[in-house]
Amino acid sequence: MLLYILLCLEIAVRIAIEVRERRLTQLHGGVFAVLRLIPLVNDIVPLPENSCDPPTSLFVEKHEEGHNALHHAVLRNLMKVAFLLVAVWFLAAMVVRWNASFFEAVLWLHLVAIPFKYFFNWYCWTQEYEADAYAFKEVGQQKAKAAMHELAECEIPYSKLFASIYREHPTVALRSQRILKKVVGSRQ
């Protein structure tokens, strides 16, 4: 019973987040917005981040170099493996110890994983900021600013709250705020 109450609560919270997002951005969420409301389905719905491919600037190259130099991919993957192991243990414990059906165990896992996903996004964001700081040091303020404009032009805008729940990348507004100490938008 508790499981289904929590799932209804999840749907209600996600509807509220979605409505808030539509109001703030004035953009339609499309079919993905509906899919994001459905438990389990929302675990696999992709979130489009860009409307076009941003050009590869020196800043972007140095940003990627920063990820490599700081071993970000390895750390991210280690964290994923750790989460996966805990998830398998959790499923096994639910089924064997608490006699839950497999389907119910998966639903519980889905709920329990929500704060972990949030934490994972936060961790990815800190990596992105670190890679930005690395690139900023390499190319300087002028090029960083120009690159932020280019990135902003291709980015689909999301609010900070929405991005923190659904995105592994911070928005360009947050990134430019962090390195340039001001929000950079598209030039239009």
Q: Residue numbers of the site for Zn ion (CB under 5 A)?
A: 128, 131
Give whichever of 128 and 150 is closer to Zn ion, judged by the CB atom: 128
Give whichever of 43 and 61 is closer to Zn ion, judged by the CB atom: 61
Q: What is the rounded distance in angstroms from the CA atom of residue 158 to the CA atom of residue 112?
A: 25
Give the nearest distance from C-beta 133 to Zn ion in angstroms.
Answer: 12
Give whichever of 36 and 63 is closer to Zn ion, judged by the CB atom: 63
Give the nearest distance from C-beta 132 to Zn ion in angstroms.
Answer: 8
Give the nearest distance from C-beta 124 to Zn ion in angstroms.
Answer: 8
Give whichever of 55 and 98 is closer to Zn ion, judged by the CB atom: 55
Give the nearest distance from C-beta 63 to Zn ion in angstroms.
Answer: 5
Give the nearest distance from C-beta 42 to Zn ion in angstroms.
Answer: 24
Alpha carbon 31 to its chain centroid, in Å, reads 19
Give whichever of 131 and 165 is closer to Zn ion, judged by the CB atom: 131
Residue 70: name the closest of 7, 135, 16 by CA.
135
